[in-house]
Structure formats: structure tokens, C-alpha cells
Amino acid sequence: MINKIKELEKSSKLLDPAQDQRDEWNSQVLNYANNFINQLDTAKAFCTSEENGKDICNLDIVEKATKLSTLLESTTKNIDEVGLNPASSGHMGYIPGGGLYPSALGDYIAAVSNRYAGIFFAAPGAVRLENMLLRWMCNIMGYPKNAAGNLTSGGSIANLVAIVTAREAHNLKARDFENSVIYLSEQVHHSVQKAIRIAGLSEAHLRYIPLDNKLRLSVNELEKTIIEDKENGLKPFFINASLGTTNTGAIDPIEPIAAIAKKYKLWFHVDAAYGGFFKLVSEMKRHFKGIENADSITLDPHKTLFLPFGTGAILIKNKEALFKVHHYLADYMQDTTDANEEISPADISPELTKHFRGMRLWLPLKLFGLKPFRAALEEKLHLARYFYDEVQKIEGFDVGPEPELSVAIFRYVPKNEEANIFNEKLVKAIQKDGRIFLSSTTINGIFWIRVAVVVFRTHLEQIELLLEILKEKVEKLTT
Ligand SMILES: *Cc1c(COP(=O)(O)O)cnc(C)c1O
């Protein structure tokens, strides 16, 4: 048996490379990263090819080891050079973010040390770090000291945690679902509807409250509907407001909705996945009035704190409610439960073992300080407004509501063609060009093109380029 063990050890030790091997790999990866970042200036924001990354499948898993250089070459060709480039300054589709470089270092550190960040007993420092970041976010939103939060993989899971916590806090059982009512707007992010279904609440009534002309939820209609529902014996339960809709960046009126939620005892959730961190810009603070009265808030550092994908956050005012849903005891965890100074992420989220996400958030915030973040966010607001003003100066372009955040919608109204069809062609032409990536949406049957200025690398130069591209494509499509 000893011989067998020793023989296996020889092979298994390959999993723990010595420093010279690590140095060689590090330098190759560093080289790859530098090349990637250095070519961002000239790379396209969007690119498709015949192969579209197919060859990555030639590198399926086999017994034999493969050289890192082969893997990196294939990564460049088959992953980095096809599809959407979210790191690009030209990415202005959906809600982008960019991917700050120090976050990559944070992930590297978190992965090398592999701290068990789910439980205070195992990683008190890591848990303190994450809870400190969450307290910082709570503080930004005006939440009290005893609020709690969790770093999630993104905004969708944050919304799911919110709705499940609300369901339990209101003590809703299966038999109550068909009498419960959830209030939303047509502009709600679909992850909220998805969360409602995952949370088992499909049978609840979903009330889509009408919008005002700026595509914000109408407070009067909301109250009217709640009163009606109560009269009909239903149980109003949850209201979602968007602080920054994904479609247009419209901000639902937070303060009056909070007052209604309080009056009728509803759980008030603010989905601020896109807009939340704009609170760091002083001129935006007025839009956030009343957010401290929300029961839960979704934030998304991989959007407006520019992190690489993989970090969202949920803040819940009532820590006990969050704990009650997610806390579990297990025999094999018995030595982790001594009095702890900090709440463990595992006790307030669906995850047990988790990625140590705090490091990728903390490192850039500390290395840069807050100032450039505030500046970048304010810059993006101005860039969106600049675009909104300038595109109207080009003949034939029509715009949606004035942007409250950094998303603007616009379309071209052709003289002798159906506008929806034309704009679909226009967005395809922009995407095919690839220097700038834009996505589109449909609101009340009208096809709109969206500009979402969020990537930290996007500056005036890219907005000017976009305006040029628009003129160029319209001219091509109309002659
Ligand atoms: C992006 C977004 C979400 C979903 O967040 P993910 O991080 O993509 O899971 C939810 N709500 C709003 C308003 C968003 O913009």
C-alpha cells in the first residue's frame, strides 16, 4: 500500500507547482493581460466570425497536460476576439461596467489564499472585510447600523434574496400565495419576475402599475390599486421600485412609494442594480430621498462600481428577517457557532462555501480611493446628456425622455420607411461595424436604440465616435 501511495503522490504533487513553474505561468498570464489591455484601444466592442469561438472545443479535457501558451493563444482567438467585449470603451449596450484591473488582482489573491469567507469562525478577517464593505454600502443608502447585507454573484440573486426574505418576513405560506399581491411596473427588470417565480410566488397577483410620461411608476395609480385590492379581500405584500430602470434609466419616485408601503404595510424593495452607486454623485442625491425607508435594496458593483462580472449586493434593513430565512445549523458545522462578533455570510445568504468576493471590491476601492469613482460616475451622467443633446442635432433623430441617469434612448425617423424596421436595420449596422456596441429595446410598440454609458473607459472620444458612426450608417441606409 505504501508503494502505491508514494506512486500516486508523485503524480498528485503535480497539482502543487514549484515557484519556477509558477513564475513562468505568472509571466505568461501577465503578458496575456498586458496585451489584452493594450489592444483595447483598437479592438472592436463587438465582433462575430464564421467560427465564433468553435475551436475552443478542440481543447476538451484529456489525460495529458497542455502547455499554457496553447491555452492562452486559444483564449485570445476563440474567447476574447468574438462576441461582445465588455471591457471595451465602446461597449454601450445593456448595462455594462468594464472590469477594473485591481479586481483581477483581488480575485488572484482570493484564489491563492482560498479563504473560507462564508463563516466568521473560519475566516474572521475575510468576513470582517466583506461586512465592512456592506456597512459602507448601507451607510451610502442611509441604512441604520444594524442593517445587514450580502455580496452576491449579481443583481439577480440579490433580488431573489430580497423577495424570499420578504415572503418569510410576511409569514406567507403556500395557502396565502393566491391572495397575495405584488406591485411592479412594466419597466421592472425581468430578474424580479424571475425571482418571484423561483420563490414559488407565481400564483400571487402581479399588478403592473401604469407609468407616467417619463416611464416612472405612477404613485396615484399604485395607491388606487392597493386600496382596490384590499377591498377585494386580497393581501398587498410587496412593491418593487426601480432606481434606474434598465431600459431608460427612469427613476421611480422613491419617497412617495416608501410612504405608501409604510401606510399599507408592504415590503418595499428598491432595485438599484443599475442606479444605486450614482448616489456617490452629490447632484444625484435628491433622486434617492426616501431610499432609507426601503426594506431592501439591490446594488450591483459589477455595473456602476465597474467591477468585472460576479459581484452584486443585497442590503436588508431588518437583519433578523434575513437571518431567519437563511440560517441553518448542521452537526458537522457545530464548532463554528460560538459567539461571533460578525454575522457570517453563510447565515444570511443561500450560499455556504462562497467566493471571497470582498477582495475584488475592496482592492480597487482602496487603491484608487473614492474620488475617481465619483468622477467617473458623474462623467458618465454628463456623457449621456451630451449624447442626448447632440443626437437631436442630427437631422431625423428622435429621442425618448431626457436621461435621469446614464442611459438614453433614441431612434431615427425615416421619411419613406417604417421607423421600427429602419431602426432594427440601423442597430444591426452599428453592431456589424463593431467599433461601438449598442443594444435596442421596444417600449409601447416603438423600437428604440439604447446608449448606456457606464464602462469606466468610455469618455468623450467614444461618444463623438458614436455620433459619427450614426451619421455614417444613416447615410448608407437612406441612399
Ligand atoms: C442588471 C440588472 C439586474 C440584474 O443584475 P445581474 O447582475 O445582471 O444579475 C437587476 N435589476 C436591474 C435594474 C438591472 O439593471
Phi/psi region, residue 399 (left: phi>0; alpha: psi -120 to 50; beta: rest), is beta
Is residue 156 a contact partner of residue 198, using CB atoms and an 8 Å limit?
no
What is the C-alpha radius of gyration for the chain, rounded to an integer number of angstroms?
25
Q: Distance from the CA of 4 to the center of ligand 1, in angstroms? A: 52
DSSP symbols for 296-317: EEEE-HHHHT-PPSS-EEEEES
Mean pLDDT of 359-367: 98
The pair phi, psi for residue 217, each rounded to 5°, is -60, 130
Cα distance between residue 262 and residue 401, in whole Å: 30
pLDDT (0 to 100) of residue 338: 66
pLDDT (0 to 100) of residue 330: 81
What are the beta bridge partners of residue 271? 242, 298
- CB contact set of 239 (below 8 Å; sequence gap of 6+): 182, 183, 184, 222, 257, 260, 261, 266, 267, 268, 269
Count Cβ atoms within 10 A of the Cβ of residue 19 and give its class: 0-12 exposed, 13-18 middle, 19 or more buried: exposed
Is residue 315 a contact partner of residue 306, using CB atoms and an 8 Å limit?
no
Q: Does the beta carbon of 346 lie inside 6 Å of ligand 1?
A: no
Residue in 272, 286, 205 with CA at minimum distance from that of residue 238 = 205
Q: Does the beta carbon of 252 lie inside 6 Å of ligand 1?
A: no
What are the beta bridge partners of residue 217? 211
DSSP symbols for 81-137: TSEE-TTSTTB-SSS-----HHHHHHHHHHHHH---TT-TTT-HHHHHHHHHHHHHH
pLDDT tens by residue, 390-409: 999 999 999 999 999 999 99
- CB contact set of 6 (below 8 Å; sequence gap of 6+): none
- CB contact set of 434 (below 8 Å; sequence gap of 6+): 44, 45, 46, 47, 90
Cα distance between residue 44 and residue 42, in whole Å: 7
Q: Sorting pLDDT into bands at 50, 70 and 90, what band is 7?
A: very high
Assess if CATH 3.40.640.10 describes domain 108-368: yes
b/e per residue 334-370 (b: at least 16 CB within 10 A): eebeeeeeebbbbbbbebeebbbbbbbbbbbbeeeee
Q: Does the beta carbon of 191 lie inside 6 Å of ligand 1?
A: yes
Cα distance between residue 465 and residue 468, in whole Å: 5
Q: Count Cβ atoms below 10 Å from residue 477 Cβ, excluding itself.
A: 16
Q: Sorting pLDDT into bands at 50, 70 and 90, what band is 332?
A: confident
* Cα angle value 212/217/221 (rounded, 5°): 85
Cα distance between residue 146 and residue 281, in whole Å: 25
pLDDT tens by residue, 402-457: 999 999 999 999 998 999 999 999 999 999 999 999 999 999 999 999 999 999 99
Q: Distance from the CA of 298 to the center of ligand 1, in angstroms? A: 9
Residue in 251, 259, 257, 312 with CA at minimum distance from that of residue 284 = 251
Q: Does the beta carbon of 154 lie inside 6 Å of ligand 1?
A: yes
Q: Distance from the CA of 189 to the center of ligand 1, in angstroms? A: 7
pLDDT (0 to 100) of residue 208: 98
pLDDT tens by residue, 54-85: 999 999 999 999 999 999 999 999 999 999 99
pLDDT tens by residue, 270-297: 999 999 999 999 999 999 999 999 999 9
pLDDT tops 80 at residue 189: yes
Q: Distance from the CA of 374 to the center of ligand 1, in angstroms? A: 21
Alpha helices in 219-370 (DSSP H): 219-231, 254-263, 301-304, 319-326, 358-368
Cα distance between residue 348 and residue 131, in whole Å: 12
Assess if CATH 3.30.70.1450 describes domain 371-478: no
pLDDT tops 80 at residue 184: yes
Q: Distance from the CA of 256 to the center of ligand 1, in angstroms? A: 23
Q: Does the beta carbon of 242 lie inside 6 Å of ligand 1?
A: yes
Chain-centre distance of CA 180, in angstroms? 28
Is residue 188 a contact partner of residue 242, using CB atoms and an 8 Å limit?
yes
Cα distance between residue 158 and residue 135, in whole Å: 16
Q: Does the beta carbon of 300 lie inside 6 Å of ligand 1?
A: yes
Q: Distance from the CA of 426 to the center of ligand 1, in angstroms? A: 26
